[in-house]
Amino acid sequence: SQWGEENLQALSIQEGEDVTMNCSYKTYTTVVHWYRQDSGRGPALIILIRSNEREKRSGRLRATLDTSSQSSSLSITAAQCEDTAVYFCATEDTGGADRLTFGKGTQLIIQP
Amino acid sequence: EAGVTQSPRYAVLQEGQAVSFWCDPISGHDTLYWYQQPRDQGPQLLVYFRDEAVIDNSQLPSDRFSAVRPKGTNSTLKIQSAKQGDTATYLCASSPLGGQNTLYFGAGTRLSVL
């Protein structure tokens, strides 16, 4: 999982496989954002899930959120080489501030 | 629509030197953020603005870092006397009012302090 680790985690899989990345966060939130960061670029939002959704799908992406365990997951089905990137989860501050706190990230490498 | 633009893309300094980073957010976005991203870590919020007002700068090392957004559009982040520990990528992001807190990031400025 992303929080509680000192550095970036790394995952390497073969093209066509499915993969799941996990995120455990410390402070309560009702929204989890998942961002993707390609090498040399800034992060970009790929999927957002709210506490009343439990599961959200977008193409080959699937996100889940369990507020009781303060965890979220991002799954990619039939991974492709272009899915190689760093994936971050980010939580919203429930104190009303419009800012995000990012996890440490997962480096995903898809081998051809 | 043009994205968030940052300059320079890279900067290399000796300890003690000063450096400024510039950010041009997406037109119409009222909220602007500066994040610091050390190598192999997630972005960490330094400061953010709504229009020209600082909303939160509690994570900004105030003795050496400063940030301004005088007209509520472009922003400058300055490090007065850089330290090796400041080596990181500095990311600017913007967000529209009512945009569900979705951040649109620039490509960042990669800073190396020798």
Residue B34 resides in a domain: yes
pLDDT of residue B73: 92
Q: What is the Cα–Cα distance from B31 to B55, expressed in whole angstroms? A: 9
pLDDT on residue A30: 82
Question: B106, A42: Cβ pair inside 8 Å?
Answer: yes
Q: In the structure, what pLDDT confidence band is assigned to residue A21 with cuts at 50, 70 and 90?
A: very high
Residue A3, in any domain of the structure: no
SS3 at position A24: strand
* B57, part of any domain: yes
**For B8-26, how does the pLDDT look when each residue is reduced to its tens digit (9 = 90+)?**
999 999 999 999 999 999 9
Report how many domains make up chain A.
Answer: 1
B26-59 pLDDT, tens per residue?
999 999 999 999 998 999 999 999 999 999 999 9
Query: Nearest Cα to B48, choosing from B33, B37, B30, B28?
Result: B33
Does residue A5 register a pLDDT over 50? no
Q: Is residue B41 part of a domain?
A: yes
Give the pLDDT confidence score for residue A96 in this predicted structure. 56
B36 touches chain A (CB under 8 A): no
Residue B79 three-state SS: strand
Cα separation, B75 vs B68, whole angstroms: 6
Confidence band (pLDDT; 50, 70, 90) for A6? very low
φ, ψ (nearest 5 deg) of residue B54 = -75, 125
Averaged pLDDT for residues B87-96: 96
Distance separating alpha carbons of residues A4 and A58, to the nearest angstrom: 28
Query: Best interface-test mutation with A: which of B4, B7, B37, B40 has the largest number of A CBs within 10 A?
Result: B40
* pLDDT at site A4: 43
Please give the tally of structural domains in chain B.
Answer: 1
pLDDT given at position A93: 74
Instruction: Give the pLDDT score at A94.
Output: 65
Q: Do B45 and A44 touch (CB under 8 A)?
A: no
SS3 of residue B6 by DSSP? strand
**Is residue B82, in this structure, part of any structural domain at all?**
yes
d(CA A58, CA A43): 18
Given an 8 Å threshold on Cβ–Cβ distance, is A98 in contact with B101?
A: yes
- Tell whether B100 is covered by a domain: yes
Distance from CA of B1 to the nearest CA of A (A): 15
- The predicted pLDDT at position B99 comes to 62
Q: pLDDT averaged over chain A? A: 89
Q: What is the structure's pLDDT at A27?
A: 79
> Residue A4 falls within a domain, yes or no?
no
Cα(B110)–Cα(A56) distance, rounded to whole angstroms? 34
- How far is the C-alpha of B107 from the C-alpha of A43, rounded, in Å? 8
CATH number of the domain residue B34 falls in: 2.60.40.10
Q: What is the mean pLDDT of residues B67-86?
A: 95
CATH of the domain at A92: 2.60.40.10
Q: Quick one: pLDDT at residue A99?
A: 80
Torsion of CA A72, A77, A83, A89, to 10 degrees: 0
Structural domain range at position A41: 9-111
User: Does the residue B8 lie in any domain?
Assistant: no
Q: Quick one: pLDDT at residue A95? A: 60
Distance CA A41, CA A85 (A): 10
Q: What is the DSSP letter of B42?
A: -
Domain membership of residue B28 as a residue range: 17-108
Residue B71 lies inside a defined structural domain of this protein: yes
**Pick from B4, B45, B102: CB nearest A45:** B102
Q: How far apart are CA A98 and CA B101, in angstroms?
A: 6
Decide if A91 contacts A100 (C-beta within 8 A): yes
Q: Is residue A49 part of a domain?
A: yes
pLDDT in tens, A38-93: 999 999 999 999 989 989 999 999 999 998 898 999 999 999 999 999 999 999 87
Cα atoms in the Cβ-side hemisphere of radius 13 Å centred on A81: 2
